[in-house]
Amino acid sequence: MANYQLSNIQPGLTFTQDGICNILVWAPLAQSVNILLTDTGKKIELNAGEHGYWQLSTTEVQHGDLYKVVLNNEKQLPDPASRAQPQGVHGPSQVIDVNGFKWTDNQWANPALEQYLIYELHTGTFSPEGTFAGITEKLQYLKELGITAIEIMPVAQFPGNRNWGYDGVFPYAVQNSYGGPAGLMELVDACHKKGLAVILDVVYNHVGPEGNYLNEFGQYFTDKYNTPWGNAINFDDAHCDEVRNFFKQNVLMWFRDFHVDALRMDAVHAIKDFSPKHILQEIKESVDELMADTGRKHYLIIEFDLNDKRFIDPLPQGYGMDGQWIDEFHHALRVTAGGERNGYYADFSGISDLAKAYRDAYVYDGQYSPHRQKKFGTKTDNPGQQFVVFSQNHDHVGNRLLGERSSVLFSFEMQKLLAGAVMVVPYLPMLFMGEEYAEQNPFQYFVSHTDEDMIAAVRKGRKEEFKAFHAEGEAPDPQSEETFRRSALNWDSIHQQQHKTMLHYYKTLIVLRKQSLALATLNRHQLEVSCDQEQQTLWLHRWEGDEHVYCFMNFSDKVQQLALPADGPALSIILDSADPEFGGQRSTSVRGGEAEVILPESIIIYTNQNV
């Protein structure tokens, strides 16, 4: 490997267009490295290269072959860059030639980010089949709902068949029980055919515990830093160049080989990197190069709770991430709705923080945080499409003791108000699977480890996690298959009247957001917001061109007076969550000539235009 070009190295076994297999394994401490084809027993010796890489180009390996990597003629291990693990995390890897898939999405164009309306789902619990094919069966439903992008929780190979996905140990391999790499390609292709973008959740802040063989190969981790999951991934210590390339190439693989439109990168605040160039910036630069080469558009969205705009500022002054999740909007909204105020909710006072979230994106932008016990955050003027907001997601449902959804915690009317509050934001709205029809089943934390010590550690860890929330009682057993089954969506309930009504309400909200220029244009500067702490009401005004939209929200349990603009044009109601059409109790006797009141736990939206 005399021409050592790190930025072009793809780990693992990959194929050229003419069927030659390029093998590349990073094992800097090994004296010899071989590929063992497990079905035939044939061994293929790799050549030592620079920087600890072992390589070979050969025609002796074919698509579908099972293999293990043999270190020093002793240890037989799965490939860290395996594209498939059909027998699980401890079994042999499988050779995959991605060039053989017949894509039909040549005319697909990834929408502008501001057009994303996101639906987060978990493959194993979204459909009865619990597979990529099961998701495909529901794409017409999602299209009719009105969302424009699905976000799939992590699919990197994890132990067993039940997991949220954040215990993945093979970043390049697609979960076998979901349908493997071919199943994911078929799903992405089908989504594009339906006009839906695909966001894939990936994890670069840690690697799961069971089946994690990375340390057998090289210095993938460093003891310089600790994370909640153990030693940090080595992004800035000795031998970090090869580790950085490993994860950077993983990003490019999802975009190039699987046609994924965007990545959601899990908890990047837990990535420890003090290099002159942060790994996220390096990833962004590589994605920009890929896009220039292919002509396709891709986005990088981060989960990030540090309120540091440097991460989402454009290159070169920032790291160039295209967007981030905003937990603070969720926290302020939940507290305003009457949710608990313990744990990380303790920093939020309610409706005044919600008003600030509408206006400033970050609630904490430099003031003191009692929960963190320090000043926290920076002010941001970044455009609205860089912020993803929600009233619930997998974390804030599943990390409750019992995994209760909003449909169990809040009244029917409050659920509609929460949905309305999200849909009128100058940001990107996201739904969590099932909320659109008020799914009653919980979403609980589940795993399927095979190591008894690991199972015991997970059970203990879940108990410790709930101490900050003063939660009493027993958490459901994460290892139990019943916990997993309990968390699956109940699609039969969608035919019951109350669930049908909620679904109709969500569809109406989504259509309204798309058709209203004032709501669809994510201009944070064309927005006014105020609130009344005593009455627990919030008033939001957004506009674009000649169109003005006024949103009135009543989070209290009492009828409140409305203060319509006195000098403006005539207004008409385009949505009232208390309308009988949506199962509400609004009556004409309450409404008067110009609807001077707003019912408890409801939202009314006015406009001066015909929407």
Binding positions: 264-269, 327-331, 394-399
**H-helix segments, 100-157:** 123-126, 132-137, 139-145
Give dist(CA 166, CA 446) in Å, integer.
Answer: 11
Q: How far apart are CA 198 and CA 95, in angstroms?
A: 25
Angle between helices 240-256 and 279-294 (to 10 degrees): 40
Question: Distance of alpha carbon 554 from its chain centroid, rounded?
Answer: 30
Q: Catalytic: which of 120, 167, 266, 439?
A: 266
- Asked if 353 is an active-site residue, the reply is no
Catalytic residue among 189, 303, 305, 579: 303
For the chain, the residue count is 611
Annotated catalytic residue 266: yes
- For 346, the token pair is 């303790």
Q: Which residues pair with 429 in a beta bridge?
A: 389
Other C-beta atoms within 10 Å of 31: how many? 10
> Residue holding tokens 């979230």?
357
Query: From CA 569, how far away is CA 607, in angstroms rounded?
Result: 9
Measure the CA–CA gap between 205 and 268, rounded to whole angstroms: 6
- Alpha carbons 156 and 202: distance in angstroms, whole number: 8
The beta-strand segments (E) located in 168-272 are 170-174, 197-202, 221-227, 230-233, 262-265
User: Residue 580 burial (CB < 10 Å; 0-12/13-18/19+)?
Assistant: exposed
Structure tokens at 220: 């993938």
Give the DSSP letter of residue 559.
Answer: -
- Say how far apart CA 249 and CA 114 lie, in whole Å: 27
Contacts of 430 (CB under 8 A, 6+ apart): 117, 118, 119, 120, 151, 388, 389, 390, 393, 422
Give the number of other CB atoms < 10 A from CB of residue 363.
26
Single out the residue of 201, 202, 207 nearest to residue 221, CA to CA. 207
Q: What is the tally of helices (H) and strands (E) in the chain?
A: 17, 30
Binding residue positions for substrate:
264-269, 327-331, 394-399
Residues annotated as catalytic (active site), given as ranges: 266, 303
